Chains A and B, each alone.
Chain A
Amino acid sequence: MEFKEGKHSILMVSDFFYPNFGGVENHIYLLSQCLLKLGHKVVVMTHAYANRSGVRYMTNGLKVYYAPWKPFLMQNTLPTFYGTLPIIRTILIREKISLVHGHQAFSTLCHEALMHARTMGYKVIFTDHSLYGFSDIGSIHMNKVLQFTLADVSQAICVSHTSKENTVLRSGLPPEKVFVIPNAVDTTMFKPAPERLSMDPIVIVVISRLVYRKGADLLVEVIPEVCHLYPNVRFIIGGDGPKRVRLEEMREKHSLQDRVDMLGAVPHAKVRSVLNSGHIFLNSSLTEAFCIAILEAASCGLLTVSTRVGGVPEVLPDDMIVLAKPDPSDMVHAIKKAIRILPHIDPQEMHRRMKEMYSWHDVAKRTEIVYDRALRCSNQSLLERLPRYLTCGAWAGKLFCLVMIIDFILWRLLQLWQPDSEVEPVPDFKRTELKTEVRK
């Protein structure tokens, strides 16, 4: 495959990828697929999962490197600072990469890859997918690491304006360098049921991880109240997590076994059928940078009731969502309003509007603009780049400079040990087109 002008060779790096399912994982996969369709070359790098290690190819020839670095905490690779330098250098040279795109602030592999890529002179882009705090000890450390990585990033992408504000405040990055490109939804996969469900009973669907951050405690207060007010309302709860026990206890206490179904963990492929069995989608997250779940629900024609947190108000138009404060009584009030306006909702019309508003192809085209902008940034030597790290803090700045100088020295030593010309580039394979005959 010969590369046309204007087409890039991108390396996506993150600790979060298939075979795990989640917002970041799906974002990387779907964005990569759309970029491949636009004619770019995309390679993904992540850590090994269980016995999945080495090179794998996914749909449309998306090459994935499962580097044999085992995760040590919450899916993250063990941070060794310089341990991943040789493998990242090898992949960058053999795949003839032109820029590196890291995902998620909580991924150690992403931070290391961006650091090494900058040392070697590649342009780097970072996408932040979540909101983080400022005051707890974990957030303080995470923000310092983010400051280090983003001190010298070419461009950054955030998934909502709220997320951009959050990232800029946490990292001290100039706002002009941050682009806002929202996530999208695969509207071909999330379609409403062909026949509209009857309004009796009204089914409210919740699909989320049952953890504190996703507001599972709010559900424990809200569900019995709504069931008491509306005898014809049922709940379906999909998902698993540490707070599941509390929900089961709530069900027992109020004798709601016949009105609240707990499905447990729902595989991603089954999410659509669960959504199609409901009228209203309830999201009770306490913090959310974007929330793809409500996009999926809206694409399936469900009216959404959600907490007004983070980037949620930016996602859907006012007639598709009812927002509430993250407070049980306000949420009950919002559900009442949703039930009242439910008869006026047309699921097919909602799906059509979602198709026009959100598409991964649009996200890919916008990301392409960011890549073009990044490649136009000037090349800078180590000495020109070091002053950016000094601004990170009185002590931290000097420490970061030292880390980058050592990285530079290690890279040069590695070049002496194995020159760039000795790393063999990978041949580009021709994809065989499957020709199907159309029977008339």
Chain B
Amino acid sequence: LRKGAIGAPIGPGSRDRNKHAVDTHHIIAQRSAVKPIVTYLLAILLVTYAVFLHLEKGKPVTTVIWSFFFGAVLVKLLIWRPIVKESVIIMPEFGVQLETHYGSGKINRRFIPVSKILKPVLNECVTPVTCCWCLSFLIRDGNELTLVFKKFRPPLKMLVPIWKALCVATDCKESFEFQEDG
């Protein structure tokens, strides 16, 4: 699970004084100090062991090549973050911009006008190993939900203020409603 932090809203003053203020929420992937060190150490250990096997035990040089490969895979899986930040920029009465910032520097932006948003919803999702909450939009004339955060699954206490801000901006009444089934 990646922890994030919510950035302060950019825009002057409180809502009452200036209700057209642009509201921005960022979810940033937390950097841990220990994990990269441990992962690099493990990768170096793996390569060193492979070199030892090649030089002392006479194993073929492909062992060393495979160890580099596995080391790289380990580093990519555990440390490399394709997405470093996801942002929601709420422009009241205009629309919502969803941004995804990648580790390579690329930024993916998507704008959804207010007229297309039927309602922002907080959905409970179940995977084979865990449960999480997703913030999504119900789009008018759309068949599927649009996820606000593509990759990150922040905890509910981070999502609720963003959802409330989206409800205010898209003029929807907040309610915990049941979708009764059966």
Q: How far is the CB of B147 from chain A (nearest CB, A)?
A: 14
Inter-chain CA distance A375–B182, complex, in Å, is 32
* Residue of chain B at shortest CB distance from A86: B129
Whether A57 lies near B126 (C-beta < 8 A) is: no
Interface residues of B in 130-182 (CB under 8 A from A): 130-131, 133, 155-157, 176-182
- Give how many A-B residue pairs fall within 8 Å (CB-CB): 60
Contact B127 A68 (CB under 8 A): yes
Q: Are A55 and B156 in contact (CB under 8 A)?
A: no
Task: Judge if A69 is at the interface, Cβ distance under 8 Å.
Answer: yes
Q: Indicate the size class of the contact surface on chain A.
A: 20 to 34
Specify the chain A residue showing the minimal Cβ separation from B176: A429
B128, B131, B177, B178: the one within 8 Å of A91 (CB)? B131
When chains A and B are docked, how far (Å) is the Cα of A368 from the Cα of B38?
Answer: 51
Chain B residue contacts of A65, Cβ below 8 A: 126, 131
In the complex formed, the residue of A with least CB distance to B157 is: A424
A427 and B1 contact, CB distance less than 8 A: no
The answer to whether the Cβ of B125 comes within 8 Å of any Cβ in the partner chain is: yes
How many angstroms from the CA of A122 to the CA of B181 in the assembled complex? 29
**Which of these, A91, A418, A430, contacts B1 with CB under 8 Å?**
A418
Bound Cα distance from A381 to B127, whole angstroms: 30
Asked whether any CB of chain A lies closer than 8 Å to the CB of B124, the reply is: yes
The residues of B that contact A439 with a CB separation of less than 8 Å are none
B180 touches A57 (CB 8 A): yes
Contact with A along B1-38 (1 / 0, CB 8 A): 10000000000000000000000000000000000000
Q: A18-B182, A424-B157, A430-B176 are in contact. Are A55 and B124 (CB under 8 A)?
A: yes
B130 partner, pick from A57, A61, A90, A426, beta carbons under 8 A: A90
- Residues of B with C-beta under 8 A to A424: 133, 155-157
Please measure, in the bound complex, the distance between the C-alpha atom of A53 and the C-alpha atom of B181, giving whole angstroms: 13
Contact status B126-A67, CB under 8 Å: yes
Q: How far is the CB of B179 from chain A (nearest CB, A)?
A: 6
A430 to B176, CA, bound (A): 8
Among candidates B1, B127, B178, residue contacting A429 with C-beta atoms closer than 8 Å:
B178
8 Å CB contacts to B: which residues of A347-383? none
9 contacts between A and B (CB under 8 A): A53-B126, A54-B124, A55-B124, A61-B178, A83-B128, A426-B124, A427-B176, A431-B178, A432-B177
Q: Which 8 A-B pairs have the closest CB atoms?
A: A86-B129, A55-B124, A429-B176, A56-B181, A58-B182, A54-B126, A57-B178, A90-B130
| A residues in contact (CB < 8 Å) with B | 18-19, 53-59, 61, 65-69, 83, 86-87, 90-91, 94, 418, 422, 424, 426-427, 429-432
